Amino acid sequence: MTSKLRVGILGATGMVGQRFIQLLENHPQFEVTAVAASDRSQGKSYGEACTWRLTGEMPLAIRSLKVQAPAPPLDCDLVFSSLPGDIARETESSFAAAGYPVISNSSAFRMDEDVPLLIPEVNHEHLGLLVQQRSVFPSGGFIVTNPNCSTIGLVLALAPIHRAFGVEATIATTLQAISGAGYPGVASLDILDNVLPYIGGEEEKIETETTKILGDFESNAIKTAPIKVSAQCHRVNVADGHMVAARIKLKQHASLDDLRNVLATYTSLPQELGLHSAPQYPIVIRDEQDRPQPKLDRDAGAGMSVTIGRLRADAVFDYRFVSLSHNTIRGAAGAA
């Protein structure tokens, strides 16, 4: 029997760090052997240091692990990072320089030219960029990032359409869950009976990340996709589940049935390989007029599928739809 890869979690006590630990419990390929967090948690057991915020119990096997500083060496083969952006760049670089593969949920390296910004069902060929990192990290370490939580729900919906017919432009309006702000997150008096029409940096992330992810890998570099992207982001009083209302303009003519078919039948390399966390279908189509809804649809595919509904013609662009994704599973820890 093949032994499991030993995993370290950076930022292990935070919301995304907890989700990493939850998703990796009893995983057939990975075993969490190291947890790292800020100064106030170091030296304590994980059970003492972490206030568990997720549904279900903290995994028993993790509770006794000693929380360490987020610095090499750690007793692991690779690290998953959920560090805040302000410290992620230096810390993740130090791990890669020490020979560790770093799978990062942080924004720090997403737009670097030699770093893959990965949605495995969309652009796994971008892993070819890792060749460029060999000169930076000669010890064999590397950095791979996953996109912003709201970007994933949009891009996974756009990818099959773009490949089949070409997407010229999209306008995306997001309704983003409060868990996306971490814990303690948005103050209750700000979000109760309210919608916040601004989330710092989110619109820019969607607009830039989308074109990189959908770009072509040519001559060991990414040629960004020539798609015009306009985003408007809102924080809403929903616990989990980011919704995107999108309008798209196509380069080639396609019927509504054409679009529905390419979305409903879309699979890619993770499905072909039968990866443990890969949903059978990364996109789920709902035909009801009132779907998707966060409460009903965020857990589709164990939180790894994007649910698309309200697919219809648009009077200004060509088509419009609503997509929904679980922001802390597919949009964060599950994406890694």
The structural domains of the chain, with segments of one domain joined by +, span 5-108, 149-331
Please confirm, yes or no, whether 162 is among the known catalytic residues.
Answer: no
**CA separation, residue 330 to residues 40, 178, 208, 246, 294 (Å):** 29, 16, 19, 19, 13
Q: What is the mean pLDDT of residues 289-312?
A: 98
pLDDT above 70 covers a percentage of the chain that reads: 99
pLDDT above 90 covers a percentage of the chain that reads: 97
Query: What pLDDT, on the 0 to 100 scale, is given for residue 86?
Result: 87
Catalytic site residue from 126, 162, 242, 326:
242
Query: What pLDDT, on the 0 to 100 scale, is given for residue 1?
Result: 44
Please confirm, yes or no, whether 149 is among the known catalytic residues.
Answer: yes
What residues does 173 pair with on adjacent strands?
A: 232, 245
Query: What pLDDT, on the 0 to 100 scale, is given for residue 184?
Result: 87
**CA separation, residue 86 to residues 64, 143, 334 (Å):** 29, 17, 22
Catalytic site residue from 50, 76, 126, 149:
149
Distance CA 95, CA 162 (A): 36
- Does residue 244 have a pLDDT over 70? yes
Distance CA 45, CA 67 (A): 6
Least confident of 2-16, 66-80, 315-329: 2-16
Read off the pLDDT of residues 213-242 as tens digits, 9 standing for 90 and up. 999 999 999 999 999 999 999 999 999 999
> Over the chain, what is the mean pLDDT?
97
Give 183's pLDDT tier (boundaries 50, 70, 90). confident
Claim: this prediction has a pTM higher than 0.85: yes
Q: In CATH, which of 1.10.443.10, 3.40.50.300, 3.30.360.10, 1.10.287.620 is domain 149-331? A: 3.30.360.10
Give the domain 5-108 fold: Rossmann fold (3.40.50)
**CA separation, residue 265 to residues 34, 225, 258, 284, 288 (Å):** 39, 23, 11, 9, 18
Calculate the dihedral angle through the C-alpha atoms of 140, 79, 302, 4, rounding to the nearest 10 degrees. Answer: 80
Give 81's pLDDT tier (boundaries 50, 70, 90). very high
